[in-house]
Structure 1
Amino acid sequence: MSLGSGPRELVVLGTAGAVPTRERNHNGYLLRWDGTSVLFDPGEGIQRQMLHAGVSSPRIERICVTHRHNDHCLGVPGVLNRMAQDRPGREVTVHGPEDAFEHLRALAVVAQANVRVTVQGHPALEEDVPVADVAGSALTARALDHRVPALGYRLVEPEHVTFSPDALRAAGITGPDVGRLQREGELRGVRLADVSTRRRGQVFAFVMDTRLCPSVSEVVRDADLAVLECTFTDRDADLALARGHLTARQAGETAARAGVRSLVLTHVSARYDGAELEEEARAAVAAVGGRTTVRVVRDLDVVPVPPRAERSSVAA
């Protein structure tokens, strides 16, 4: 549960790779985060999936698209129309790489929806590019390695400071001096670390179509919940490389080495069973001594962001 209003959780709307199947819809992932929602990569049919999942469109403030391939964005017009039905005239921002700007703008025009749409194209760089503030957390993007320019998204909550009342009392710090100590870091010989605990903010990461590259590790680094594609198994690694995708082994090993707590695998090729991909990823985590939990999700699954890992109450 977040410090804000509402849960922090991922609602999985679609999990297919490239083409839908009888069991898996085109891509679509909705992140609920402190009373707002961010929709990632809405493919075809996502408006109907939202109804099945009980997702409320008025809470969606942003749509983040990783790249311009249609299985990751063709649902944009339908979603915009859903928004216009639920709250006419509202504002929504569509984010994507600069390469996809005209494509995304055309989808917004085709929708002819009664919503105020802003399309923002972000440079695909091998460094964090600021995208937006999401309920006080920083959303950034970084270039991946696909057949067209693609972005991975990372959402980071700021670090929080929690004071110990007993430690403050023993140090004689009261009233406005508490705020002064927090701002300045030290007051009358008392360090902030002596009377407080720093608690890291939660981190969410989203990586779709990409070959294995250093940016994948950077986007998912220390994430509490990371969503990664796993289109192929390792026996088809050559095919994954040629088509610009990850294998389940690559996804599992990368997540484990990057310190991911909970790994969601998706974008499943119709040629595989999800259990096979999950087994391969778990074996990769175990091989490097990682503690990352692994789950290949199905349509309409709901995955909570893991609770924060608490640190010791007061710094030594």
Structure 2
Amino acid sequence: MSLRELLVLGSASAVPTRTRNHNGYLLRWDGHGLLFDPGEGTQRQMTLAGVSATDLTWICVTHFHGDHCLGVPGVVQRIARDGVEHEVNAAFPASGTEYWRRLRHAAAFHDTAVIRERPVSGARARLDTGDAPFTLTACRLDHPVESYGYRLEEPDGVTMLPAELAARGVRGPLVRRLREEGVVTTPDGRTVTLEECAVRRPGQKVAFVMDTGVCAAAYELAEGVDMLIIESTYLDEDRRLAAERAHLTAGQAGAVAAAGGVRHLVLTHFSERYRAEDEERFRRQAAGPFRGEITLVRDLDRVPLPRRRPAARPAGG
């Protein structure tokens, strides 16, 4: 059975607190494990969450501020120590390659050859995901150091309609050919197209938007996703401070989600300036512009992806 969920390993911003570790987010996706922004302490949080280094297939760093990357040395050394044999891709801003390599080799250890570097550059980049069941796109955000958000997309599929297949005489091997080729000829000479016998099943989509000011790329990443994991460092009354430091407020995160038609909004990356009793205000302020489901995460939370969107249009529509 496939598993698609977000595991929150840390949810603080620049300074960890007693209840919130530095950033760390593991997206589980059908046997793949995408670790976003491993901050300091991520290796220990993985242990507390029951996550193994063998679960990781991607490490995606948005930028090289410490709360988003100081866990890289421990994670890499754990991959080596545990003898992970499969390839682990590492995506990060190309402009920070020197930082990546310092982190990658921050201490003496028996190295591993399984990590494949995937530096990202330009305003928008499509990463090579090989035979993985998703695509991965990076878009440059607005932050004092070069920062990228990531968008994971499952290709759309199709759901075959048995009654329509039977009515047109499409049976046995012809069904597979119709799915793969889009058109078949039945034994009685009829031409049947895929759109006559199937409806399109939208693929699931997730976006990960960390440190950024309000910008077009944040909206682009969020467009039409099932889950948006996004920073909400400040409350709305501190929007001037957010603008100065190129971060988002809870209300601004909600506005991005509302504009994109997001289904599930996940708020994280909270400033240490706020107290525990302030936390529900983040939810309320995000709910001003956004009417969908909102999760204000805590460390070690598991957040399942929403159920698939229903098939809503002909396969060829």
Same fold flag (TM > 0.5): yes
Change in 2 beyond 3 A, CA 1:131/1:264: farther
More displaced, 181-190 or 222-231? 181-190
**2:274 counterpart of 1:274:** no
Give SS of 1:222's match.
coil
Given the alignment, which residue of 122, 125, 147 partners 1:124?
122
**Other-structure match for 2:222:** 220
Aligned match of 2:39:
43
Q: Is the partner of 2:295 in helix, strand or coil?
A: strand
User: What secondary structure sits across from 1:232 in the alignment?
Assistant: coil
SS, match of residue 146 in structure 1:
coil
Answer yes or no: is the 8 Å Cα contact 1:124–1:143 preserved in 2.
yes
- Structure 1 314/207 Cα, relative in aligned 2: closer, same or farther at 3 Å? closer
1:19 corresponds to 2:24 = no
Maintained 8 Å contact 1:43/1:72: yes
Query: Matches of 1:190 and 1:240 in 2, distance apart?
Result: 57
TM-superposed CA distance for 1:69, in Å, is 0.8
Once the two structures are superposed, the pairs formed by residues 205-216 of structure 1 within 5 Å of their partners are: 205-216=207-218
Give SS of 1:148's match. coil
**2:208 and 2:200 mapped to 1: Cα distance?**
26
The 1:114–1:128 alpha-carbon spacing in structure 2 relative to 1, beyond 3 Å, is closer
Shift in Å at residue 134 of structure 1? Answer: 7.0
Question: 1:196–1:263: structure 2 CA closer, same or farther, 3 Å change rule?
Answer: same
- Report the Cα offset of residue 298 of structure 1: 0.6
CA displacement 1:291-312 (0-9 Å, x = unmatched): 4211110111100011102225
TM-score (norm 2): 0.91
Q: How far has the Cα of 1:139 moved from its partner?
A: 0.9
Q: In structure 1, which of residues 171, 176, 179 is the aligned counterpart of residue 176 of structure 2?
A: 179
Aligned twin of 2:310? 310
- For residues 87 and 156 of structure 2, the distance between their equivalents in structure 1, rounded to whole angstroms, comes to 29
Which stretch of structure 1 is more off in the superposition, 189-198 or 250-259?
189-198
For residues 66-116 of structure 1, what are the alpha-carbon distances to aligned partners after superposition, in whole Å with 9 as ceiling and x for unaligned? 001111001001011222232256542211111121111221112434322
Structure 1, unaligned runs of 5 or more:
286-290
Quick check: 208-217 or 129-138, which moved more?
Answer: 129-138
In 1, Cα distance between the equivalents of 2:249 and 2:313? 41
RMSD: 1.9
Give 2:251's aligned amino acid. R
1:93 to 84, 89, 92: 89
Cα distance between partner residues in 2 of 1:300 and 1:69: 22
After the TM superposition, which residues 221-240 of structure 1 pair with which residues of structure 2 at under 5 Å, given as runs?
221-240=223-242
Q: Distance in 2 between matches of 1:134 and 1:233?
A: 41
* Greater displacement, 50-59 / 10-19: 50-59
- Structure 1 residues 248 and 113 mapped into 2: Cα distance closer, same or farther (>3 Å)? farther
Specify the code of the residue in structure 2 equivalent to 1:123. S
Residue 288 of structure 1 corresponds to which residue in structure 2? none
The CA deviation at 1:314 is: 7.0
- The Cα shift of 1:133 comes to 4.3
Distance 1:134 1:258 in 2: 28
Q: How many residues align?
A: 306
Query: Could you say what secondary structure the match of 2:284 adopts?
Result: helix
Question: Counterpart of 1:300?
Answer: 300
1:59 is displaced (CA, Å) by 1.5
User: Residue 166 of structure 2: which of 169, 173, 177 is its match?
Assistant: 169
- Residues 82 and 279 (structure 1 numbering): CA distance in 2 closer, same or farther, change over 3 Å? same
The Cα of 1:269 is off from its aligned counterpart by 0.4
Structure 2 residues not aligned, in runs of 5+: 185-189
Residue number in structure 2 paired with 1:79: 75
Deviations 1:135-172 (A, max 9, x none): 31101111111111111100000111111122101011
Question: Quick one: distance in 1 between partners of 2:221 and 2:130?
Answer: 17
Task: Indicate the residue corresponding to 2:151 in structure 1.
Answer: 154
- Offset, 1:275: 1.3
CA contact (8 A) 2:156 2:202 kept: yes
Q: Tell me, in whole angstroms, the C-alpha distance in 2 between the residues paired with 1:32 and 1:192.
A: 32
Shift of 1:61: 1.2
Whether contact under 8 Å (1:263, 1:295) holds in the other structure is yes
Distance in 1 (alpha carbons) for counterparts of 2:173 and 2:34: 37
Identity across the alignment (%): 48
| Aligned mates of 2:298, 2:288 — CA distance in 1 | 20
Q: 1:110 to 1:134 in 2, by over 3 A?
A: farther
TM-score by length of 1: 0.91
CA contact (8 A) 1:101 1:119 kept: no
